Amino acid sequence: MSKKIVVIGSINMDLVYEVPEIVKEGQTIQTTDHHLFFGGKGANQAMTAAQLGAEVAFIGSVGEDGYGQQAIFNLESQHVDTSYIHHQGLTGQAIIQLSHTAENAILLYPGANFNVTPAHIEAARDVIEQSDMLLLQLEIPLPAIERAIEIAYASNTQIFLNPAPSQPLSDDLLMKLDYLTPNCTELENLSGIPFDEHNLEEACEILINKGVNCVIVTLGKKGSYYFTRDGQQGYLSSNRMKPVDTTGAGDAFSGALAVALLHDSELEEAIHYASDVAGYVVTQKGAQPEIPLSYRYVKYHV
């Protein structure tokens, strides 16, 4: 039986401009190509989880425009339940510079994503309570995220937060989290300790002492580092794939990790699997590429 994940988060259209290098202040450069992709951290994670075999429902907001209709159709193409998505205003957009070295810079217009309210979350209480895991990011208003976490925590639904983009989070919120996946910048902001690989353990321990059950720090090309409440910790390397587009790599990691954890994988096995999926995604253009069936969790671990 597939595991049920409810994703609450953002839905965007990504306007991607390929450039020789990321533009600097006062500089004007010509784009070498342009693409329109589906995006938004929430939608990216939902599409990854759905393609890997999870049963996914989505709570969020799109605009009353063509982009919103396209985004809904795209999610439904992977059987994501979109019945909890509201339509209001204009769909969120991300303007992305993609360099020839696969690095990116992103300008985000939140649009309808900022229309998600605690009332919308409350209206979807049943789906949160009946899911195995709640998967969250921080591209929608924090009050909605806090309400979703309260409902999930009360119903013993596992709570997985990818704390991006970085912002302050209360100790009351952190103590309810089962899984937290910051990158280096987010770890620094949440722990209050300047990032250094030599103090990763100390920074993670601060978050564990605030109540987080498991912290998994994504370190880009260097892999990841994990630290759990029961004292497990360690570095795990990632597959060195030649990147084409790193947009959405962290979201693919989070979506795949959620799927693996719901299949009761050992933590290191789950992280390796998520790294493999993210490694494939960076070899493709766009944040929501089609993932081969061979990466589905049940096939990948035969």
Give dist(CA 2, CA 240) in Å, integer. 30
Q: Report the CATH number at residue 218.
A: 3.40.1190.20
In a domain, 89, yes or no: no
Please compute, for residue 74, the number of CA atoms within 13 A of its CA located in the half-sphere on the CB side. 23
Q: Which of the residues 245, 251, 264, 276 is marked catalytic? A: 251
137 CB contacts (<8 Å, ≥6 apart)? 9, 10, 41, 42, 45, 161, 162, 163, 164, 251, 254
pTM higher than the cut 0.75: yes
Q: How many residues does this entry show for the chain?
A: 302
In a domain, 189, yes or no: yes
Range of the domain at 159: 4-10+42-59+117-295
The total domain count for the chain is 1
Tokens 């493709």 belong to residue: 284
In a domain, 283, yes or no: yes
Confirm whether 264 is a catalytic residue: no
In a domain, 132, yes or no: yes
In a domain, 135, yes or no: yes
Sequential pLDDT tens for the chain (302 residues): 567 999 999 999 989 898 999 988 889 989 888 889 999 999 999 999 999 999 999 999 999 999 999 999 999 999 999 999 999 999 999 898 988 887 888 888 999 999 999 999 999 999 999 999 999 999 999 999 999 999 999 999 999 999 999 999 999 999 999 999 999 999 999 999 988 878 899 999 999 999 999 999 998 888 899 999 998 999 998 776 777 877 788 999 999 999 999 998 899 999 999 999 999 998 898 888 899 999 998 766 64
Taking the CA atoms of the chain, what radius of gyration do you get in angstroms?
18
In a domain, 84, yes or no: no
